[in-house]
């Protein structure tokens, strides 16, 4: 794999970067179409920190600079899109089916999207029983499937002459998996692959294949994947960056904006009831109770570190937090979320806040895929290894490190993101030919 040229030096952002996406449905095709439209100068990169964000040049915050002016990241023209899906159509076909983008936007990028076809997927309907499709691998054993995915990665990068790759899971939520012995060590996981262990899910196969090929991996769903100890061990051993899990969009984004406000004003919360209706493929998948359980665990975790029951039992000890999701086909990708928040203030007097968010799930997720791609590539070129805590800003259930509960406060997460961007931007960038160091960025 490509590592930093020398310690404390970042490799240059030259050459092509493969963006590999398991799951090429609504989120992946909205991301790809948006990037292609940006390449044509038709739209702005709204929602992307990497493209539009500004950070303080130092901790004092006396001067702000654009992220893309100080951090060595690839240009959008260097990105090459690929991935896997159980459906055979092109990215254009999938985008039409997803019905997220307007006909005008899709027609403008149609020639580019029609060139992108998914590779055959490693799929097990036991994990996503409400979906099925014809574009699946013939291999039946888990070791053979993992090897086939590794070959896909190598072949894709060779065919498109890519220098390196990043993988972002954009597929469906799998059924809930309780961590077991097969997930605890890499040796146990490897034996599980050979024994076709039923608790090794398709998403774990993709992650394993990517890590073995030196490809940084971000988990955009709440599936148990790179957050199991075995795959963390593999990432550390192979020297690969990982991040997860579950894209922070829609209702959870709103929660991580509002809850820090309540905490900072020391307002009490009796309860927070959230319900959603969603009609896209993700909604169909979550209509199965075993898949909803996986999503529920992710969505429920978000308030725990912000509204601290132990530090302030008088404010949050009695808090009830409920989450519901209903599949409602007419809504399509335009998810609607309702929140009823029962708060209390001075002398215990109750108040209510009601939020109705008519959001577009894939529109909110697409810039996250772009940022994770660009930032994980930067982490790779800087030699960063293992869990990238600084990318928690993008996830509902940020991955724990050493058993430490992650902070869900969006504003705390943004500060951590900015701090690491600053650190990376201060690394000298090596010249292409070797370890000779160029001047520092910025």
Evaluate whether residue 5 is within a structural domain: no
Quote the tokens at residue 136: 């699946």
Using the predicted structure, report yes or no on whether residue 307 has a pLDDT greater than 60: yes
Helix (H) or strand (E) segment spanning residue 388: none
Confidence tier at 282 by pLDDT (50, 70, 90) = confident
Q: How far apart are CA 212 and CA 153, in angstroms?
A: 10
pTM of the full structure: 0.92
- Same domain (yes/no): 232, 283: no
The answer as to whether 72 is a domain residue is yes
Residue 122 forms part of a structural domain = yes
**Residue 378 included in any domain:** yes
Instruction: Give yes or no: residues 273 and 367 share one domain.
Output: no
Q: Are residues 234 and 254 in the same domain?
A: no
Average pLDDT, the chain: 92
pLDDT in tens, 124-170: 999 998 899 999 999 999 999 999 999 999 999 999 999 999 999 99
- On whether residue 1 sits in a domain, the answer given is no
pLDDT 10s digits, 199-230: 999 999 999 999 999 999 999 999 999 999 99
Last residue of a domain, one of 302, 328, 358: 358
Residues 81 and 166 in one domain: yes
Residues paired with residue 243 on neighbouring β-strands, in sequence order: 218
Mark which of 358, 383, 412 sits at the end of a domain: 358
* Co-location of 96 and 195 in the same domain: yes
Number of domains in the chain: 2
Would you say residue 7 has pLDDT above 80? no
Which residues, other chains included, contact 374 with Cβ-Cβ below 8 Å and sequence gap of 6+?
50, 73, 74
**Contact in structure between 389 and 406 (CB atoms under 8 Å):** yes
Residues 152 and 301 in one domain: no
pLDDT of residue 437: 36
Q: Are residues 100 and 215 in the same domain?
A: yes
Q: Which two tokens stand for residue 320?
A: 């009830």
Query: Six-digit token pair at 287?
Result: 């209509």
CATH of the domain at 118: 3.40.50.720
CATH number, domain of 282, equals 3.30.360.10
Give 284's pLDDT tier (boundaries 50, 70, 90): confident
One domain for residues 48 and 75:
yes
Enclosing domain of residue 300 = 250-358
Same domain? For 218 and 257 the reply is no
Report yes or no on 121 lying in a domain. yes
| pLDDT bucket at 431, cuts 50 / 70 / 90 | low
Say yes or no: 69 and 130 in one domain. Answer: yes
The reply to whether 323 and 223 lie within a common domain is no
349 and 367 belong to one structural domain: no
């Amino acid at each position: 794999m490509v590592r930093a040229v020398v310690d404390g030096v970042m490799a240059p952002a030259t050459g092509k970067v493969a963006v590999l996406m398991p799951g090429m449905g609504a989120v992946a095709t909205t991301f790809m179409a948006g990037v292609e439209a940006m390449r044509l100068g038709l739209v702005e990169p709204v929602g992307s920190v990497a493209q539009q964000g500004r950070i303080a040049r130092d901790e004092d915050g006396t001067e702000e600079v654009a992220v893309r002016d100080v951090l060595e990241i690839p240009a959008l023209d260097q990105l090459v899109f690929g991935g896997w899906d159980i459906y055979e159509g092109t990215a254009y076909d999938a985008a039409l089916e997803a019905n997220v983008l307007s006909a005008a936007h899709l027609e403008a990028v149609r020639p580019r999207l029609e060139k992108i076809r998914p590779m055959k997927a490693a799929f097990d309907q036991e994990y996503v029983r409400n979906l099925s499709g014809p574009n699946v691998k013939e291999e039946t054993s888990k070791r053979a499937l993992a090897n086939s995915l590794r070959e896909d990665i190598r072949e894709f990068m060779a065919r498109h002459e890519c220098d390196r790759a990043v993988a972002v899971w954009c597929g469906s939520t799998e059924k809930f998996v309780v961590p077991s012995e097969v997930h605890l060590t890499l040796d146990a996981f490897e034996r599980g692959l050979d024994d076709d262990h039923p608790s090794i899910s398709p998403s774990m196969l993709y992650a394993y294949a990517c890590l073995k090929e030196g490809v940084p991996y971000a988990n955009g769903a709440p599936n148990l994947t790179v957050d199991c100890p075995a795959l963390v061990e593999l990432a550390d051993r192979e020297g690969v960056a990982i991040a997860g899990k579950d894209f922070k969009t829609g209702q959870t984004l709103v929660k991580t904006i509002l809850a820090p406000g309540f905490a900072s004003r020391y307002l009490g919360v009796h309860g927070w009831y959230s319900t959603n209706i969603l009609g896209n493929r993700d909604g169909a998948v979550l209509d199965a109770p075993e898949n909803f359980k996986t999503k529920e665990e992710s969505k429920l975790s978000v308030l725990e570190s912000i509204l601290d029951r132990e530090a302030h039992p008088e404010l949050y000890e009695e808090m009830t937090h409920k989450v519901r999701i209903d599949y409602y086909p007419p809504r399509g990708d335009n998810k609607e979320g309702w929140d009823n928040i029962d708060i209390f203030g001075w002398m215990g007097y109750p108040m209510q806040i009601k939020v109705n968010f008519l959001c577009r799930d894939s529109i909110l997720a697409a810039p996250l895929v772009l940022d994770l791609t660009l930032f994980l590539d930067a982490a790779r070129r800087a030699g960063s290894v293992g869990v990238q805590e600084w990318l928690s800003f993008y996830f509902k259930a940020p991955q724990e490190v050493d058993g430490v509960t992650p902070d869900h406060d969006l504003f705390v997460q943004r500060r951590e993101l900015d701090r690491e961007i600053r650190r990376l931007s201060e690394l000298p960038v090596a010249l292409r030919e070797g370890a000779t160091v160029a001047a520092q960025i910025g």
